[in-house]
């Protein structure tokens, strides 16, 4: 990924970007919640002098409102600082690096990580899957006019029999007159699911599914790509309840997809392994398919299941994962604290829902800050 230098003239007369950003992602293990699987590496790639400044998450907005800037100091040429990240769910993360002196750079890194709660779990607390950003919109001649024009918030849950996908779409004009494999030309959603994602590009369990509601209330369920041993065409095994509320400009897709429709006969996924997941929304406001929005990738601009993101099917509560990882993060800065590590630990705590656990950890952090910094 490349940094975009927003003030090229200010960097010692050249447009060389002195820092780079890399997201390192390891396997997620629900049984070891204290071992979070994301680290951000901020490297001084071209700054002759040690660089200092802050790094701040800009997107997704839901996180940006909670997470605070992380300070870093004196990274020498060729050196890097590692920033531990809490459990985040998104297709991409956008950061802004501000160096001392005020020069800023923005960079996006691909995350491709989401979580599904166990169906019926109360509360169902896996983070929502949001399609609401300009960078998720791909124009096919149209122009995205904002969240009321097209956006969605989705939740996925699961049990031993089914995957449940609920997509709440905001779209000012619902237009769908196509049927069967052509529904992508009108308002509709497409799901990419890879039930054996660990097999990478040789996976034999990739599905591309589509769901649409036409003007007469008719629902189309379609499959363009099927796991080995299953047929493409009408997706008769799934249940889709799709409703349109014109007053709210809202279309709700409630999908129940049997898991045996997502893999070939006899295949069983190991419980902890992620599935591949991509969600695409087609946009048609009455003048043809004008664009689409895609969470992750691999459907809209080219068929490639390797571009799907990881989705982890949780057995337990997502909030507990956040809490246990935040406790560990705070413990670790009791032993070894520098401002980068303390700021990073604070962001683990900021993500927690309001309550006693959060208050307790905030107090501990405050003590560490006063003592060490």
- Smaller CB separation from Ca ion, 13 or 217: 217
Residue 327 CB neighbour total at 10 angstroms: 19
Would you call 56 helix, strand, or coil by DSSP? strand
Joined tokens for residue 103: 């020069």
Q: Tell me which H or E stretch contains 90.
A: strand 90-99
Could you identify the residue written with the tokens 């940094």? 3
Joined tokens for residue 181: 């494999």
Q: Which residues pair with 95 in a beta bridge?
A: 57, 107
- Binding mask 162-191 vs Ca ion (x if CB under 5 A, - otherwise)? ---------xxx-------------x----
- Smaller CB separation from Ca ion, 187 or 208: 187
- Smaller CB separation from Ca ion, 170 or 197: 170
Q: Tell me which H or E stretch contains 87.
A: none
Smallest distance, Å, CB 254 to Ca ion?
19
Query: Which positions from 271 through 310 interact with Ca ion, judged by CB under 5 A?
Result: 285
Q: With CB under 5 A as the rule, give the number of residues binding Ca ion.
A: 7
Q: How many Å apart are CA 301 and CA 111, to the nearest integer?
A: 19
Question: Contact, 114 vs 28, CB < 8 A?
Answer: no
Query: Which positions from 77 through 96 interact with Ca ion, judged by CB under 5 A?
Result: none
The correct pick among 91, 130, 149, 208 for binding Ca ion (CB under 5 A) is 149
- Smaller CB separation from Ca ion, 151 or 325: 151
Smallest distance, Å, CB 173 to Ca ion?
5
Between strands 104-118 and 309-313, the pairing is parallel
- Smaller CB separation from Ca ion, 127 or 186: 186
- Smaller CB separation from Ca ion, 173 or 339: 173
- Smaller CB separation from Ca ion, 135 or 172: 172
Smallest distance, Å, CB 186 to Ca ion?
8
- Smaller CB separation from Ca ion, 288 or 353: 288
- Binding mask 185-224 vs Ca ion (x if CB under 5 A, - otherwise)? --x-------------------------------------
Q: How many Å apart are CA 256 and CA 236, to the nearest integer?
A: 11
- Cα 258–259–265 angle (5° rounding)? 115
- Nearest CA among 122, 82, 106, 56 for reference residue 350: 56
Contact between 245 and Ca ion by CB under 5 A: the answer reads no
Smallest distance, Å, CB 277 to Ca ion?
23
Smallest distance, Å, CB 246 to Ca ion?
12
Q: How many Å apart are CA 260 and CA 248, to the nearest integer?
A: 35
Smallest distance, Å, CB 248 to Ca ion?
13
281 DSSP assignment: E
Would you call 102 helix, strand, or coil by DSSP? coil
Q: Which residues pair with 153 in a beta bridge?
A: 130, 168
Smallest distance, Å, CB 284 to Ca ion?
5
Question: Contact, 149 vs 172, CB < 8 A?
Answer: yes
Smallest distance, Å, CB 217 to Ca ion?
17
Interface residues with Ca ion (CB under 5 A)?
149-150, 171-173, 187, 285
């Amino acid at each position: 990924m490349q940094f975009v230098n927003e003030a090229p003239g200010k960097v010692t007369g050249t447009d060389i970007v002195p820092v780079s950003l890399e997201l390192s992602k390891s396997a997620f293990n629900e049984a070891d919640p204290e071992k979070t699987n994301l680290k951000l590496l901020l490297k001084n790639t071209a700054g002759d002098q040690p660089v200092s400044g802050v790094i701040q998450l800009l997107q997704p907005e839901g996180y940006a409102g909670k997470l605070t800037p992380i300070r870093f100091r004196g990274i020498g040429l060729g050196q890097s600082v590692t920033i531990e990240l809490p459990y985040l769910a998104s297709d991409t993360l956008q950061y802004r690096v501000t160096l001392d002196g005020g020069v800023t750079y923005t960079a996006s890194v691909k995350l491709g990580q989401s979580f599904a709660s166990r169906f019926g779990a109360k509360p169902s607390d896996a983070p929502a899957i949001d399609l609401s950003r300009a960078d998720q919109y791909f124009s096919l001649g149209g122009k995205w006019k904002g969240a009321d024009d097209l956006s969605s918030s989705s939740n996925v849950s699961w049990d031993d029999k089914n995957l449940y996908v609920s997509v709440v779409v905001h779209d000012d004009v619902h237009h769908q007159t196509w049927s069967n494999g052509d529904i992508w030309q009108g308002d509709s959603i497409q799901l990419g699911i890879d039930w054996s994602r660990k097999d990478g590009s040789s996976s034999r369990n990739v599905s591309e599914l589509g769901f649409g509601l036409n003007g007469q209330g008719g629902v189309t369920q379609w499959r363009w790509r099927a796991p080995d041993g299953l047929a493409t065409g009408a997706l008769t095994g799934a249940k889709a309840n799709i409703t349109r509320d014109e007053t709210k400009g809202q279309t709700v897709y409630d999908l129940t997809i049997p898991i045996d429709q997502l893999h070939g006969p006899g295949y069983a996924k190991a419980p902890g392994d992620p599935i591949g997941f991509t969600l695409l929304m087609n946009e048609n406001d009455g003048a043809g398919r004008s664009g689409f929005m895609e969470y992750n990738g691999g459907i809209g601009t080219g068929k490639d299941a390797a571009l799907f993101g990881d989705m982890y099917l949780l057995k337990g509560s997502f909030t507990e994962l956040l809490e246990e990882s935040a406790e560990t993060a705070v413990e670790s800065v009791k032993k070894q604290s520098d401002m980068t590590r303390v700021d990073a630990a604070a962001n683990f705590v900021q993500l927690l829902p309001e309550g006693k656990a959060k208050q307790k950890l905030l107090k501990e952090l405050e003590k560490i800050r006063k003592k060490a910094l």
